[in-house]
Structure 1
Amino acid sequence: MNDLQMFRKLFNISFCRPILKTERFIDIWWDLEGLRDTLAGPLYTIKTKGNCNYVYTDEEGRFPGVDSPEMFLQWCLDIVDECRDILMKHQPENSNEEADFETIIRQIDGMEVLSHLAYRIQSEQ
């Protein structure tokens, strides 16, 4: 499986709405929506078109300082770190919340892996 094939498979797992058991963690998942959407934009473009070269010439200012695959990777990882930091402020208080926490952290971990795959894909352009 090449990087793009792996990327496409992991994208769906990392960005689909998970089944969560508790209202508290459903709310937290929704609180992360803006960050997820910001990251999902260029990553979805990689999934569908094989690249997201538009981020390097974005005239709308959505990707400040992103002018290379290395800067794109850093931009992605900053978003992933922000998601992780938000989640870590909400430690689970029971087994259902623990399961929900693990589900969300797996998605965030998947977004990190996608970021590194995106870097490799973009670097090969």
Structure 2
Amino acid sequence: MPPAPPPQSPPPAYQALCSHTHLFPGARCRLQGLPHPEAFAADPEPVDVHLRFSDGTAAPADLRGDPATLTVAAHTTAAGTPLDESAWFVKGFTLDRDEVEMTIGARAPSPPPAAAG
């Protein structure tokens, strides 16, 4: 019997520096460390994201779909404000040197809660 292939590492979560303490239409986040930022800006692929907000807090998120939608996990701001999970359409992607700036658009419908089972 041939040996099992080595387990694959999960894809990395790319850091995104956000210009504010929370997301809203028009907010901007700069994706860093993408292997091919020019290609990503032209045709974004699904990726896991680690958002870092201007108040020093962070939240995991994922970028998926067409239209591109950023789903952010529930988290608490540095001021102590709890924010529920939220989903946002991404209005656009712009290449800036080796980073890609995402401009947040309107709120997207949140996925329905998982059924208890």
Fold match (TM-score > 0.5)? no
Structure having the higher strand fraction is 2
**Structure 2 length as normaliser, TM-score?**
0.24
Larger RCO, structure (CA 8 Å, separation 6 or more): 1
**Structure 1 length as normaliser, TM-score?**
0.23
Computing the radius of gyration over CA atoms, which structure comes out larger, 1 or 2? 2
